[in-house]
Amino acid sequence: MGKILVIDDERPIRRTLCEILEFEKFEVDQAENGEDGLKMAQENEYDVILCDIKMPKMDGMEVLEKIKELDYDSTIVMISGHGTIDTAVDALKKGAFDYLPKPPDLNRLLVTVRNAMNKKELVQETKVLKKKLNKVKSANIIGESQAIKTVINMIDKVAATDARVLITGGNGSGKELVARQIHEKSPRAKSTLVEVNCAAIPSELIESELFGHEKGAFTSAHKQRKGNFETANGGTLFLDEIGDMSLSAQAKVLRALQENKITRVGGEKEIKVDVRVVAATNKDLKEEIARGNFREDLYHRLSVIIIENPSLNERKEDIPLLSDFFTKQICEEHGIAPKTISEKGLIELQKINWTGNIREFRNVMERLIILCGNEITEKDVVTFARPLSQS
Residues 6+ apart with CB under 8 A from 218: 208, 265, 266
* Cα 323 to Cα 385: distance, rounded to the nearest angstrom: 13
pLDDT of residue 117: 87
Identical fold between 146-310 and 313-390: no
Per-residue pLDDT of the chain (391 residues; tens, 9 = 90+): 689 999 999 999 899 999 999 999 899 999 999 999 999 988 888 999 999 998 888 888 999 998 888 777 788 999 987 767 787 888 888 889 998 888 888 888 999 999 988 887 887 777 666 655 555 554 689 999 999 999 999 999 999 999 999 999 999 999 999 999 999 999 999 999 999 999 998 888 899 999 999 888 887 777 888 899 999 999 999 999 999 999 999 999 999 999 999 999 888 889 999 999 999 999 999 999 999 999 999 999 999 999 999 999 999 999 999 999 999 999 998 999 999 999 999 999 999 999 999 999 999 999 999 999 999 999 999 999 864 445 4
Give me the amino acid identity at 37.
G
Q: How far apart are CA 214 and CA 212, in angstroms?
A: 7
Closest CA to 277 of 167, 154, 141: 167
Give the residue among 59, 51, 54, 46 at the shortest CA–CA distance from 31: 51
Burial class (CB in 10 A: 0-12, 13-18, 19+), 212: buried
Q: What is the DSSP string of 134-148?
A: HHHHTPPPP--SHHH
Residues belonging to the chain = 391
Residues 6+ apart with CB under 8 A from 25: 1
Q: Superfamily for 146-310?
A: P-loop containing nucleotide triphosphate hydrolases (3.40.50.300)
For residue 391, what pLDDT is reported? 45
User: What CATH code is assigned to 3-134?
Assistant: 3.40.50.2300
CATH class of 313-390: mainly alpha
pTM score > 0.85 for this model?
no
> Where along the chain do its domains lie?
3-134, 146-310, 313-390
pLDDT score for 132: 58
- pLDDT given for residue 124 in this prediction: 74
Ramachandran angles phi, psi of 160, nearest 5°: -70, -10
Q: In what order do the strands lie in the sheet with 75-80?
A: 27-31, 3-7, 48-52, 75-80, 98-101
Q: Give pLDDT, residue 88.
A: 81
- The pairing of strands 75-80 and 276-281 is unpaired
